[in-house]
Amino acid sequence: MDLFEKIEKKQMFDLVKEKGIYPYFHELESGQDTVVNMEGKETIMIGSNNYLGFTSEPKVIEAGVEALKKYGTGCSGSRFLNGTLDIHIKLEQELAEFLHKEACMTFSTGFQSNLGIISAVAGRNDVVLCDKENHASIYDAIKLSYARMIRFEHSDMNDLEEKLKQVPSTCGILIVTDGVFSMSGEICKLPDIVRLAKKYGARVMVDDAHGLGVLGEHGRGTAEHFGLEDDVDIIMGTFSKSLASLGGYMAASKRVVEYVKHTSRPYIFSASITPASIACARESLRLLKENPQRVKDLQDISNYMRQGLKKLGVKIIDSTTPIIPIYVYDDEKAFVACKLLLDRGVYVNPVVSPATPVGYALLRTSYTATHTKEQMDKAMVAIKEVLDILDVK
């Protein structure tokens, strides 16, 4: 059998392209902002993770430029060997302090962060309890770790406890959950997870990629939101969302950080984050610390959009985060809706099977602290119009 036989067969993306409703890889001709130039057209962006609006902040851009001038374009090596800059260390110290943890380490991407953390702390004799709706990087990380994965039903604490009861006392246990689930915008049930972890002797890791800058009075994320910063063993996050850059991090005890630094293959064998990316993340973090009002602005504009959609009769998955998914149910309708919205100057993301169960396709919309009410009014009217055209109830 030819290895490429499966590749030559017609795929879903081929069929969608033939119908003229392919929704992926649209070209941006401007920086990421509340309004972008997408393929020659001014477009309201409600499909990015630029939660605090820092990607277009002049101070963040200038910080990246200055780092590029001082340190050059890259580090030409791994953190383990020649690729550690003083600004790597400074960012890690600043993040640890901000997140109320003893130490922090950074990875080159958010996806790599989960790979590097979980594969280091969990081994063949360990068990990882994984929420069924966790990010794909968590699933891949568990495979890389060789630990046994046990999935529990999404945010079902009764199921989690039943699964915990089945774990032999000889196994180490790690419970991993998204803080904010990226597709639904739901917040995990962290108080219950912490309670069960203590009861069964498990450790807790929170993927806070969509929590940092979004939840908590100061934007420290899910643990701050629930007042459980001392009860979460490992906090993972990314720079590609609220911190307007590229990379990821782990905040934990000094001992856990030192262990992962010396045992994590994805960390040891990857080039370190580029100087400009580090500088942009540092400046974004500084701005967040100095201006927590951005977090409130994000909540306010998200609530404005949420209430506006409800008044128009649009069915959404309700939450308190800036992620507002809208049901369209049918995969093809999701693709068509994205095209019709783009034609009207509004960009959203399609979420179709297998990312959702068959028959539960979504339009994932997400918001930025610097969006205006005028932009939201235009976007919600366009969404309602398109859903009516497609007869989505």
User: What CATH number does residue 305 fall under?
Assistant: 3.90.1150.10
Structure tokens at 174: 């790690």
Say whether both 381 and 235 belong to one domain: no
Say whether both 39 and 175 belong to one domain: no
184 a catalytic residue = no
Say whether both 40 and 100 belong to one domain: no
261, 107 contact by CB (below 8 A): no
- What single DSSP character describes residue 119? H
Return the HEC string of 212-248: CCCCCCCCCCHHHHHCCCCCCCEEEEECCCCCCCCCE
Backbone angles phi, psi at 141, to 5 degrees: -65, -40
What pLDDT score does 316 carry? Answer: 93
Q: Which residues contact 299 (CB under 8 A, 6 or more apart)?
A: 320, 322
Cis omega (within 30 of 0) for bond into 354:
yes
What pLDDT score does 318 carry? Answer: 86
Q: Which residues contact 229 (CB under 8 A, 6 or more apart)?
A: 99, 100, 101, 220, 223
Rounded distance, CA 271 to CA 317, Å? 39
Say whether both 46 and 140 belong to one domain: no
Say whether both 259 and 357 belong to one domain: no
What pLDDT score does 229 carry? Answer: 97
Report the CATH number at residue 175: 3.40.640.10
| 103-107: strand order across its sheet | 103-107, 248-252, 234-238, 203-207, 172-178, 126-131, 148-152
Q: What is the dihedral of CA 289, 291, 296, 302, to 10 degrees?
A: -90
306, 376 contact by CB (below 8 A): no
Say whether both 297 and 222 belong to one domain: no
| 323-329: strand order across its sheet | 323-329, 361-366, 349-351
Say what percent of the chain tops pLDDT 90. Answer: 96
What pLDDT score does 149 carry? Answer: 98
Boundaries of domain holding 315? 5-56+292-389
Give the chain's radius of gyration (CA, Å): 21
What pLDDT score does 69 carry? Answer: 98
Where do runs of H (alpha helix) occur along 19-170?
A: 58-71, 86-98, 110-121, 136-145, 157-165
Q: Which of 225, 241, 333, 371 is catalytic?
A: 241
Give residue 92's Cα distance to chain centre. Answer: 19
Say whether both 86 and 207 belong to one domain: yes
Mean of all residue pLDDT scores within the chain: 96
Q: Which of 113, 119, 137, 182 is catalytic?
A: 182
Residue 393 has pLDDT above 90, yes or no: no
Residue type, 236: M
**Where is the domain boundary, 275, 290, 305?**
290
Residue 353 has pLDDT above 90, yes or no: no
Residue 389 has pLDDT above 90, yes or no: yes
Closest to 95 in 3D by CA, of 188, 262, 208? 208
Backbone angles phi, psi at 311, to 5 degrees: -65, -30
pLDDT in tens, 365-383: 999 999 999 999 999 999 9
The string over 208-225, giving b where at least 16 C-beta atoms fall within 10 Å of a residue's C-beta and e elsewhere, is bbbbbbbbbeebbbbbbb
- What single DSSP character describes residue 78? B
366 a catalytic residue = no
**Where is the domain boundary, 265, 290, 315?**
290
3-state secondary structure of 98: helix
Closest to 44 in 3D by CA, of 391, 344, 339, 390? 344
Q: What is the pTM of this model?
A: 0.96
Residue 357 has pLDDT above 90, yes or no: no
- What DSSP line would sit under 269-323, residue for residue? TSBPPPHHHHHHHHHHHHHHHH-THHHHHHHHHHHHHHHHHHHTT--B---SSSE
Q: How many domains is the chain built from?
A: 2
pLDDT in tens, 15-42: 999 999 999 999 999 999 999 999 999 9
Q: What is the mean pLDDT of residues 275-295?
A: 97
Q: What is the mean pLDDT of residues 127-138?
A: 97
Q: Which of 88, 101, 210, 225 is catalytic?
A: 210
Say whether both 64 and 49 belong to one domain: no
Residue 1 has pLDDT above 90, yes or no: no
Say whether both 230 and 274 belong to one domain: yes
pLDDT in tens, 65-120: 999 999 999 999 999 999 999 999 999 999 999 999 999 999 999 999 999 999 99
Q: Which helix (H) or strand (E) holds 261?
A: helix 254-263
What pLDDT score does 349 carry? Answer: 97
What pLDDT score does 67 carry? Answer: 98
**pLDDT band, very low/low/confident/very high, at 234 (cuts 50, 70, 90):** very high
pLDDT in tens, 105-121: 999 999 999 999 999 99
Say whether both 237 and 331 belong to one domain: no
210 a catalytic residue = yes
Q: Among 228-232, 235-239, 355-359, name the one with the lowest average pLDDT.
A: 355-359
Rounded distance, CA 369 to CA 54, Å? 9
